[in-house]
Amino acid sequence: MRPSDLLTMTPSGLYCPQADAHIDPVRPVRRALITHGHSDHARAGHGAVLATDETLGIMAVRYGPDFAGATQAVRYGERVDLNGVTVSYHPAGHVLGSAQIALQCGGVRIVASGDYKRARDPTCAPFELVPCDVFITEATFGLPVFRHPDTRHEVDRLLASVRVFPDRAHIVGAYALGKAQRLMALIREAGYEEPIYVHGAMERLTQFYQDQGVQLGEIRKVQAAERPKLGGAIVICPPSATQDLWARKFPDPVTAFASGWMRVRARARQKGVELPLVVSDHSDWDDLCATILQTGAGEVWVTHGQEDALVHWCVTRGIRAQPLHMLGYGDEGEVEPETNVLAGEAAPAEAAT
Amino acid sequence: MNRFAELLDRLGYEPGRNNKLRLMTDYFRTTPDPERGFALAALAGGLSFANAKPGLIRALIAERTDPVLFGLSYDYVGDLSETVALLWPSPAESHARAEPTGFDGDLDLVEPRPVARGHNRPPPSLAEVIESLQVSHRSDLPGLLARWLDGLDETGRWALLKLITGSLRIGVSARLAKSAVAALGELDPNDIEEVWHGLEPPYESLFAWVEGRGPRPEATDPAPFRPPMLAHPIDDSDFDSLDPAEMTAEWKWDGIRVQVVGGTRPDGRRVQRLYSRTGEDISNSFPDLVEAIDFDGAIDGELLILREGRVQSFNVLQQRLNRQSVSPRMLVEFPAHVRAYDLLHWGEEDLRPLPFCDRRERLEAMLAAAGNPRFDISPLIPFRTWEELAAARANPGEAGAGVDAAAVEGCMIKRADSPYVPGRPKGLWWKWKHDPHVIDAVLMYAQRGHGKRSSFYSDYTFGVWRDGPAGEELVPVGKAYFGFTDAELAELDRFVRRNTINRFGPVREVTHEPDRGLVLEIAFEGLNRSTRHKSGVAMRFPRVSRIRWDKPPAEADRMEILEKLLRREAELDESAES
Ligand SMILES: [Zn+2]
């Protein structure tokens, strides 16, 4: 069996004909295998969904209990047979419940990694390496300029700023699922014991993390009336809220943003960020390259992000590689996702973490 | 220098003046000598060493990276120093990475084993970097630089590369940096300015004084710089509250603001200096003027080129400013002159607390007594009402500026009783500048910006109509990359992307036909003749003043309008040369 027979592209996304299942489909399908709960990967309205228990829980928080016709929870490492295709889920280290999905049939193994990272994250299971023939990697930060620093250093910078400006509120933009909770956990690890305030939009997901046993310390929802009194507080909110009227009611706010994009100064400036924190839930360049080598894959399919550089790098290492949109994803040509985000146009909230 | 780099990085993002002050003061409070002194020198623009060329940096990174990956990265980041800082394979930063493993054909999971790579070299201090740069030979630079880059973190590398290429833009004035030092103690920023010019990096005596650990550094310089007094732009609404009877007015000359200072050392030796308005000593560029300083005192005035008693346009002055060395021929062809506005110091006496009208009398008397042809006084403009002053400003030639009228760029309004207060005090001095020239031009090409705008098409080449061999054609006349808001930039960027007809690397040609295209209203300060441009003209400080979404390109301006302006601008130069 050739890899392209096992897994192919359809307008709905990656599709395994023999198992009749899509991976992270972008429109409703009969049977969906979901890597993780971010909204560009996990959508409502599928006939059946196979995902980790945590991912199913996140989807229920976001879309309500009836988000799919039927659901089936799968444990990390458990093997599920779908019409002769062996499907297994393995930790991706991206957010709580995130998984790489391995498909094996006729001596061919393909791993669709979804989004993944190798850096430490106290809020989810660490990435596990799955050797394979074809590795499907993301390339969100697929340029060698993206090298994420140690998160401890970034959190120290936030806490140092709180010390220099004890009367200013520190408003930290962070994606509501994963990044926000990871940041809270990292701030606790750095010894910060004051309450951490959150925007109402991330309250339920944060509660979900806590219910799953993730220790985040005292988390308080920001009450509208108390905003002017929160000088010196750390407030975590969705990135878009940092530029809202909502943020201006805080005392002389310091606008921070936790994202891998903050590595490039122009990106931080365009967003009006004053304290960029380079904290990413995606692999940086070095980890993308290292992971590709470690999987032992002879062929790499590169998806969402900066495909060109990573494909080039694979080829210079003698690894066959192609950008996945050539297998069927629409080429949006000019669309640079970050530009749209920066220009204030609508963009999926988590697509550009 | 990682900490200094973090300070710079943070300052670059922080818009608030007071918050910048706190960041700097916090840095000075928590950083030991001599590191903080060199940081102060860098912030206050007090460092000088031969800059490294971008080519050297490109060569260093080329030895270490794949050219394709470098190209993609540079295109994405848009700034050479930052790209190299991010790409640099630094042993100091390598954190634990997983070790490669082979495919074992089974689903058994392989646990990645962290391994530490490289070795840690202590990062260089800012003091080490600056001291080495000042003494080392140019040929040592590549090796030094590579070693330092190896030792620094990303922010440190970025700051180092900006520093050594002379492209460090911090958004902090020397004044603000000195204010941050003053805030360490209970001092006023002007207290720092007063002693500043006798001091050298790393300013240990200054910090000792500010922190109450040492005496006030002696101001031993007999010809020190004195921080200048600056004016606020006047608003139409200001006139109602100002009484013309309490004001004086004089021309604002289109040269460069300078301070001319002469003094005598205790041993009797003369010291003569020329300072820019930021306190930079520019004496070496103007030996003709400096040797004419035959007094002990300090004049605030405008540096101009005078030929046969006539002020030359800024274009002419620019030609002298652009030269690296001063040749005897240039001294003859571009004779420097100072038109005096104010007298700050005379002999042993500090005149700055006196009212402007009294200082002005002293200045007139001093210039009259000296009879020095290199110096003259900027005349006052007589007026009784604001309408009279407006009329004078609209026609300086008739109102006393005579043949020098074209070198007038507006007028200054000063309270007759104003003391000379360093900085930009409120309610004492105002400037009333000429309105800029404005034309309607058609957007022809757009290029990606650099730095914060690298993902936007933010540099716009525009043209005006002229008669071409094949009928009406647009000829490019300039390039503008500021004047618009961020929201307008987003709209312009969208327009460019949707109306691209050709691509040349980072440049896009956009639709520009009589009935389809975009008209930009361009404001600019002046016009030069240029052989480098197809149109034969070059604009000074062009900027987008309005986007005319409403106007069809056919109605944009024509070349003739610029030709006419050019003739008017050139009149003065030609009258002196013919
Ligand atoms: Zn994700």
Give me the residues paired with residue B467 across strands.
B472
User: Quick check: is A175 in a domain?
Assistant: yes
Nearest by CB to residue B73, choosing from A129, A143, A265, is A143
Confidence of residue B120 (pLDDT cuts 50, 70, 90): low
User: Quick check: is A350 in a domain?
Assistant: no
Give one word for B290, left, alpha or beta, with left for phi > 0 and alpha for psi -120 to 50. Answer: alpha
Pick A328 or A132 by higher pLDDT: A132
**A93: containing domain:** 3-145+281-338
Separation of alpha carbons A110 and A131, rounded Å: 9
Pick B572 or B537 by higher pLDDT: B537
Nearest by CB to residue B73, choosing from A90, A133, A145, is A145
Number of domains in chain A: 2
Query: Is the pLDDT assigned to residue A300 strictly greater than 60?
Result: yes
Separation of alpha carbons B207 and B576, rounded Å: 53
Question: Over chain B, what is the mean pLDDT?
Answer: 86
Q: What average pLDDT does the segment B423-443 reach? A: 85
User: Quick check: is A194 in a domain?
Assistant: yes
Burial of B253 (0-12, 13-18, 19+ CB in 10 A): buried
Instruction: Please indicate, yes or no, whether residues A301 and A224 belong to a single structural domain of this protein.
Output: no
Q: Which residue of A has its CA nearest to B100?
A: A294
Q: How far does Cα A351 stand from its chain's mean position?
A: 8
Separation of alpha carbons A157 and A155, rounded Å: 5
Instruction: Give the C-alpha distances (Å, rounded to integers) separating B21 from A164, B15, B177, B178, B435.
Output: 11, 11, 7, 9, 34
Q: What average pLDDT does the segment B338-356 reach? A: 94
- The CATH number linked to A159 is 3.40.50
List pLDDT tens digits, range B543-559.
Answer: 888 888 878 898 899 99
Query: Is the pLDDT assigned to residue B464 strictly greater than 80?
Result: yes
What secondary structure, in 3-state letters, does B332-367 show? HHCCEEEEEEEEEEECCEECCCCCHHHHHHHHHHHH
Q: Are B462 and B492 in contact (CB under 8 A)?
A: no
Query: Is the pLDDT assigned to residue B500 strictly greater than 80?
Result: yes
For residue A23, what are its two tokens? 């991976």
Report the separation in Å between the CA atom of A94 and the middle of ligand 1, taken as the mean of its atom positions: 7
Per-residue model confidence (pLDDT) at position B435:
66
Number of CB atoms found within 10 A of residue B30's CB:
10
Q: Are B547 and B492 in contact (CB under 8 A)?
A: yes
Pick A245 or A180 by higher pLDDT: A180
User: Quick check: is A177 in a domain?
Assistant: yes
Q: Which residue of A has its CA nearest to B488?
A: A343
List pLDDT tens digits, range B141-163.
Answer: 899 999 999 999 999 999 999 98
Q: Helix H segments across B259-343?
A: 287-290, 314-322, 328-333
Most confident range (mean pLDDT) of A113-122, A265-274, B527-536 is A113-122
Task: Please give the helix or strand (H or E) that residue A208 lies within, else none.
Answer: helix A203-211
User: Quick check: is A34 in a domain?
Assistant: yes
Report the separation in Å between the CA atom of A117 and the middle of ligand 1, taken as the mean of its atom positions: 10
Instruction: Please indicate, yes or no, whether residues A181 and A90 belong to a single structural domain of this protein.
Output: no
B437-567: CATH topology is OB fold (Dihydrolipoamide Acetyltransferase, E2P) (2.40.50)
Per-residue model confidence (pLDDT) at position A58:
97
What residues of chain B, 270 to 309, have a C-beta less than 8 Å from chain A? none
Q: Is B550 on the interface with A (CB under 8 A)?
A: no
Taking CB atoms and an 8 Å limit, are A128 and B103 in contact across chains? no
Instruction: Please indicate, yes or no, whether residues A177 and A268 belong to a single structural domain of this protein.
Output: yes
Q: What average pLDDT does the segment B233-252 reach? A: 88
Separation of alpha carbons A26 and A11, rounded Å: 8
Per-residue model confidence (pLDDT) at position B329:
87
Query: Is the pLDDT assigned to residue B113 strictly greater than 70?
Result: no
Taking CB atoms and an 8 Å limit, are A128 and B111 in contact across chains? yes
Give me the residues paired with residue A322 across strands.
A301
Domain finish residue from A241, A257, A277: A277
Per-residue model confidence (pLDDT) at position A342:
29
Domain finish residue from A238, A262, A277: A277
Per-residue model confidence (pLDDT) at position B321:
79
Cβ-count burial B501-536 (b if 16+ within 10 Å, e if not): eeeeeeebbbbbeeeebbbbbbbbbbbbeeeebebb
User: Quick check: is A219 in a domain?
Assistant: yes
Q: What average pLDDT does the segment B402-417 reach? A: 90
Query: Is the pLDDT assigned to residue B317 strictly greater than 50?
Result: yes
Instruction: Please indicate, yes or no, whether residues A76 and A198 belong to a single structural domain of this protein.
Output: no
Give me the residues paired with residue A112 across strands.
A101, A136
User: Quick check: is A207 in a domain?
Assistant: yes
Instruction: Please indicate, yes or no, whether residues A122 and A194 belong to a single structural domain of this protein.
Output: no
Q: Is A78 on the interface with B (CB under 8 A)?
A: no
Beta strands at B256-264 and B297-307: parallel, antiparallel or unpaired: antiparallel
Q: How far does Cα A190 stand from its chain's mean position?
A: 23
User: Quick check: is A91 in a domain?
Assistant: yes
List pLDDT tens digits, range B246-273.
Answer: 999 999 998 889 999 999 988 889 999 9
**Phi and psi for A233 in degrees, rounded to 5?**
-85, 155
Instruction: Please indicate, yes or no, whether residues A139 and A15 belong to a single structural domain of this protein.
Output: yes
Separation of alpha carbons A270 and A121, rounded Å: 28
Q: Helix H segments across B537-578?
A: 559-577
List pLDDT tens digits, range B200-212.
Answer: 889 999 999 999 9
Query: Is the pLDDT assigned to residue B101 strictly greater than 60?
Result: no
**Phi and psi for A285 in degrees, rounded to 5?**
-55, -50
Helices B2-13/B35-43 angle, 10° precision: 30
Cβ-count burial A247-280 (b if 16+ within 10 Å, e if not): bebbeebbbbbbbbbbbbbbbbbbbebbbbbbbb
Q: Is B15 on the interface with A (CB under 8 A)?
A: yes
Pick B234 or B358 by higher pLDDT: B358
Pick A100 or A331 by higher pLDDT: A100
Nearest by CB to residue A145, choosing from B66, B76, B494, is B76
Instruction: Give the C-alpha distances (Å, rounded to integers) separating A23 from A7, A35, A50.
Output: 10, 7, 10
Instruction: Please indicate, yes or no, whether residues A65 and A160 belong to a single structural domain of this protein.
Output: no
For residue A335, what are its two tokens? 């669309």
Query: Is the pLDDT assigned to residue A110 strictly greater than 80?
Result: yes
Separation of alpha carbons B427 and B415, rounded Å: 8
- The CATH number linked to A13 is 3.60.15.10
Q: What average pLDDT does the segment A88-96 reach? A: 97
Q: How do the domains of chain B map onto residue ranges?
A: 48-165, 232-433, 437-567
Lowest mean pLDDT among A251-255, B224-228, B258-262: B224-228
Separation of alpha carbons A106 and B165, rounded Å: 59
Instruction: Please indicate, yes or no, whether residues A299 and A175 belong to a single structural domain of this protein.
Output: no
DSSP track, B6-69: HHHHHHHH---HHHHHHHHHHHHHHS-TTHHHHHHHHHTT----PPPPHHHHHHHHHTTS-HHH
Q: Is A325 on the interface with B (CB under 8 A)?
A: no
Query: Is the pLDDT assigned to residue B96 strictly greater than 80?
Result: no
The CATH number of the structural domain formed by B232-433 is 3.30.470.30
